[in-house]
Structure 1
């Protein structure tokens, strides 16, 4: 079950169905769900691949030094690594990785 904006959503044949009331747009919930699944797949992938986790740590350390307090630059510095390894994680664990919240 996924809770979004105070409503309970359940995994179903139509992807998500609202438990009570009229069907409403679930787009914000689906976007949050997709982000959460990618994040959890990446986390699980790092836990299963210590060499990748070590490389990610090194990238974060370099980014912190080079980007100082510029969060946008820090995030951009890590982005290519994260994007690549998120795709690897999804390929490894499937698109529903981390669905068992």
Structure 2
């Protein structure tokens, strides 16, 4: 599954595959359900070991630094809401597709 990085991303090109791998690892190990609430809002339901919330907060904070169009909100119940402006709906769709594919491959 290819991931098209928008021009608004300021993460150096060499670091992009590493960041995507971090998200893929999170998706493969922690995502138990993905809800697409609208084209610009998705919700990931997470589960995992102690410290998962800190890992998610660190990853999403670093992602917001380079891709300021993302808004990540993590609840205490380990629900991660991801919102983007309409112009970035395709980026969100690709990200949630990766999350759903990773979580379903873990179940199967």
TM-score w.r.t. structure 1 length?
A: 0.29
Question: Rg bigger for which structure?
Answer: 1
More strand by share: 2
More helix by share: 1
Higher relative contact order (CA 8 A, sep 6+): 2
